Amino acid sequence: MGKTRIGIINVTGYAGVELARLLRQHPEVTLSSVTGRSAAGQRLGEVFPHLAGIDLVIKPELEEVDFAFSALPHRESATEVIPLVTRGVKVVDLSADFRLKDAAEYQRWYGSAHPDPGLLEEAVYGLTELYRPQVAAARLAANPGCYSTGIILALAPAVKAGLIGPQIIVDSKSGVSGAGRTVSLQTHYPEVNEDVSAYALGGHRHLPEIVQELELLAGKSLSVTFVPHLLPMTRGILSTCYAFLVPGKVAAGKKGEDEMRHLYSDFYRDAPFIRIVTAPPHTKHTWGSNFCLIYPAIDHRTGRLIVISCLDNLVKGAAGQAIQNMNLMLGLPEATGLQAQAIYP
Write out the binding residues for its own copies, residues 239-258 only, by CB under 8 A.
240, 242, 244
Please give the residues from 216 up to 235 whose contact with its own copies meets the rule CB under 8 A: 223-225, 227, 229, 231-235
Q: How many CB atoms lie within 10 A of CB 220?
A: 9
Residue 234: partners with Cβ closer than 8 Å, 6 or more residues away: 175, 176, 177
Q: Between 20 and 91, whose beta carbon lies closer to its own copies?
A: 20
- Asked if residues 79 and 32 have their Cβ atoms less than 8 Å apart, the reply is no
Paired residues of 125 in beta bridges:
142
Please give the residues from 81 up to 140 whose contact with its own copies meets the rule CB under 8 A: none
Of the candidates 146, 241, 292, 310, the residue annotated as catalytic is: 146
Does the footprint of its own copies cover residue 309 (CB under 8 A)? no
With CA atoms as reference, report the closest residue to 39 among 68, 8, 79, 65. Answer: 8
Q: Which of 177, 290, 321, 324 binds its own copies (CB under 8 A)?
A: 177
Q: Which of 201, 249, 258, 266 binds its own copies (CB under 8 A)?
A: 201
Please give the residues from 21 up to 40 whose contact with its own copies meets the rule CB under 8 A: 21, 24-25
Query: What's the CA gap between 309 and 15, in Å, rounded?
Result: 21
Q: Between 49 and 88, whose beta carbon lies closer to its own copies?
A: 49
Q: Which of 275, 290, 325, 338 binds its own copies (CB under 8 A)?
A: 275
Query: What's the CA gap between 194 and 171, in Å, rounded?
Result: 20
Q: Between 90 and 285, whose beta carbon lies closer to its own copies?
A: 285
DSSP 3-state of 172:
strand
Q: In angstroms, how far is the first alpha carbon of the chain from the final one?
A: 41
Does the footprint of its own copies cover residue 151 (CB under 8 A)? no
Query: What's the CA gap between 241 and 167, in Å, rounded?
Result: 11
Query: C-alpha dihedral over 212, 218, 223, 225, to 10 degrees?
Result: -70
Query: b vs e for 315-337, b when ≥16 Cβ sit within 10 Å of the residue's Cβ?
Result: bbbbbbbbbbbbbbbbebebebb
Does the footprint of its own copies cover residue 173 (CB under 8 A)? yes
Does the footprint of its own copies cover residue 333 (CB under 8 A)? no
Does the footprint of its own copies cover residue 49 (CB under 8 A)? yes
Please give the residues from 53 up to 82 whose contact with its own copies meets the rule CB under 8 A: 53-54
Q: Which of 181, 254, 255, 262 binds its own copies (CB under 8 A)?
A: 181
Residue 310 falls in the annotated catalytic set:
no
Q: Between 87 and 269, whose beta carbon lies closer to its own copies?
A: 269
Q: Between 76 and 242, whose beta carbon lies closer to its own copies?
A: 242
Rounded least distance, CB 304 to its own copies, Å: 5
Rounded least distance, CB 55 to its own copies, Å: 13
Does the footprint of its own copies cover residue 293 (CB under 8 A)? yes
Q: Between 91 and 271, whose beta carbon lies closer to its own copies?
A: 271
Query: What's the CA gap between 193 and 294, in Å, rounded?
Result: 27
Q: How many CB atoms lie within 10 A of CB 275?
A: 17
Enumerate the active-site residues: 146
